[in-house]
Structure 1
């Protein structure tokens, strides 16, 4: 967890990556254990908890931010900011007790824009696929 906290500015309760599984060049795999006691399940949905698709996407975006941080040697280039989401597809639900397997890949870099794609799955079954763009914003003085 310390490695993740050193790589990105996100913190609980808005941190949706538990561990780095594999890091190789322009690709990364991470994991998130979906616990039944997560606050989101109090309202989504009582009695039939389902991980919101937007938060699954966020886990992919955070995984992409970790990749960029690792590629650049830390957050010295700025804070990762999501600027575009394309082709998000929600294929299956994710329930508490599952482990979300998350992948992100850098597809292309143009100037300060990082074009990425990602996928989240449970037990080999794809839950979400998405393409996204991140830029690095300089911190305010």
Structure 2
């Protein structure tokens, strides 16, 4: 079984995908439990914690990174050969807050590929099926410079 950390370089405390549920050539489904002990809840918002929208977006983008890594491996790339870099984010829509303890399902789908960019759509739902958010974005597969 391939784990998230086998596919992408993200590590705690900046890893927001727990597991890959399924994947196909067109997309991927992942899961995440938002844990009350995560440090960002101390400041967003004290006494009434809500998961920051930017971290919800990051969770979707990390699921897409997993998809892109699986796709690259299927095309013959060696593990760790390149990383997906976000090129564009648009049409982000938040529908309901995510609280500590919520379990969400993240779905990403490839829409198109053109000129080295992969256009994708992502969505997040709570375990009960409540829609959390959706967004559209573009990703480029690159080899980052070592620093």
Superposition TM-score, scaled by structure 2 size: 0.90
Q: How does 1:32-71 map to 2 (within 5 A)?
A: 32-71=32-71
Contact persistence 2:113–2:119 (CA under 8 A): yes
Alignment partner, residue 91 of structure 2? 87
CA–CA distance in structure 1, aligned partners of residues 37 and 53 of structure 2: 18
Q: CA deviation at 1:111?
A: 2.1
- Distance in 1 separating the partners of 2:7 and 2:85: 14
- Report the alpha carbon displacement of residue 137 of structure 1 after superposing the two structures with TM: 2.0
Name the SS of the counterpart of 1:59 in structure 2. helix
Partner residue in 1 for 2:133: 128
How far is the alpha carbon of 1:2 from its aligned partner?
6.3
**Is the CA contact 2:30–2:63 (under 8 Å) kept in the aligned structure 1?**
yes
Give CA deviations for 1:9-45 in whole Å, capped at 9, x if unaligned: 1111110000011112211100110111011100001
Supply the distance in 1 between the matched residues of 2:80 and 2:109 (Cα, whole angstroms).
18
Unpaired segments of 5 or more residues in structure 2?
Answer: 74-78
CA gap 1:109/1:29 in 2 versus in 1, 3 angstroms: same
In structure 2, do the counterparts of structure 1 residues 2 and 28 end up closer, same or farther at CA, with 3 Å as the change threshold? closer
Residue equivalent to 2:8: 8
Count of equivalent residues = 140
Instruction: Please say if residues 69 and 83 of structure 2, whose CA atoms lie closer than 8 Å, have aligned partners that are also in contact.
Output: no
